[in-house]
A and B are shown apart, each in its own frame.
Chain A
Amino acid sequence: MVRAFDETVIDTWGVEEALRRISAEHRSAIVQTHLRGHPHAEVAAELGVAVGTLRSRVFYGLKALRLAMEEMGVQP
């Protein structure tokens, strides 16, 4: 159980580190919509972009995140 907890902490840290390694635009799109759960329309307005642009950033941000995690050896 302790090891499982440790691994969870390491995995969480790995994901946070991977998020820091992707571009600011991609990171912001994922953090605001997914981690903070803000509505897309609200986030898009705050960033001054169209909702479609935000969704595109979420898509390419997730692809970049997956790549960063793979490069770090963190299991997606």
Chain B
Amino acid sequence: MTDGHRSIRELLGSYALGHLDGPEQITVAAHLDTCVACRTELAELTPLAARPTGVDADRVEGTPGPPPELADRVLDRVRAERRATRHVPRRDVLVAAAAVVVAGAVGFALGTTRDGVPLEPVAVQALDPDLVAQANLVPHTWGMEIKLDGAGFDPGAVYRVTVRDEQGREVDAGEFLGTGPNELHCNLNSSVLRDAAAGFTVLDDEGAVVLAAQLR
């Protein structure tokens, strides 16, 4: 592994949390296009980006938790109860996951990027009934960023995102790995400016469109 790979790898946490902007974000996105190891690592970290919704920083830093063995016993009881009561079909799990995705987006993003740039929510049509997704756009001087949140993408499968410009040209916006029923949050970057973007699509590893959004 090169030093470049190592230094970019250590940016993946901030990238997964949406904390990078400008050149660093572009550098990481470009590296991800060519590095399977980093894409895999990012896919493991991305679900954590939504987790802090409802988590209280003051409780984490200021309140001592229960002894670990007590916490483990509580969690064991919860898991046992869930196993005993949860016999829901996969569809219901995905609906629940969708609710979490929406809550995560509202709770964490608060409708703006970290620089205060407003997010533009867009309607996303799922052509695969197993998928749930929503997206927000961020206009940049260098192009357009798609913040995609979803669940139900086949775990480990590579999905490709393209942005269609006003001339009907399909421009690559990056790839991501599916995370199954786990929430997925990823930022995809395209060189198409927001005003010139007519739509975007997400394609599965066989090139079939699984998500589509009209942007005008």
Contacts and interface: CB of A to CB of B under 8 A. Distances in A.
Given A55-B14, A59-B13, A72 B57 contact: no
B68 interface: yes
A57 to B, nearest CB: 8
A14 B75 CA distance: 8
B157 interface: no
A33 B75 contact: no
Contacts of A31: 57, 60-61
Which bucket holds chain A's interface residue count?
35 or more
Contacts of B11: 55, 59
A76 B48 contact: yes
Interface in A5-23: 7-8, 10, 12, 14-17, 19-21
Contacts of B75: 14, 72-74
Contact of B45 (A15, A20, A66): A66
A56 B60 contact: no
A35 interface: yes
Interface residues of B, number: 40
Given A33-B19, A59-B9, A59-B13, A76 B47 contact: yes
Contact of B17 (A58, A60, A72, A74): A58
Most chain A beta-carbon neighbours within 10 Å: one of B54, B56, B82: B54
Main secondary structure of the interface of B (DSSP, over half): helix
Contact of B71 (A17, A56, A63, A65): A17
Interface string A21-49: 10000011001011111011000000000
A19 B62 CA distance: 12
A72 B77 CA distance: 12
B117 to A, nearest CB: 15
A36 B57 contact: yes
Contact of A40 (B19, B61, B78): B19
B51 interface: yes
Contact of B14 (A7, A15, A33): A33
Nearest to B114: A37
A16 B61 CA distance: 9
B55 interface: yes
Contacts of A55: 10-11, 13-14
Nearest to A31: B57
B121 interface: no
A72 B14 contact: no
Given A3-B85, A59-B10, A66-B44, 6 more contacts: A4-B99, A15-B52, A17-B66, A17-B71, A59-B14, A73-B75
11 contacts: A7-B82, A15-B52, A15-B55, A17-B71, A19-B60, A34-B19, A40-B14, A52-B10, A58-B13, A65-B48, A72-B71
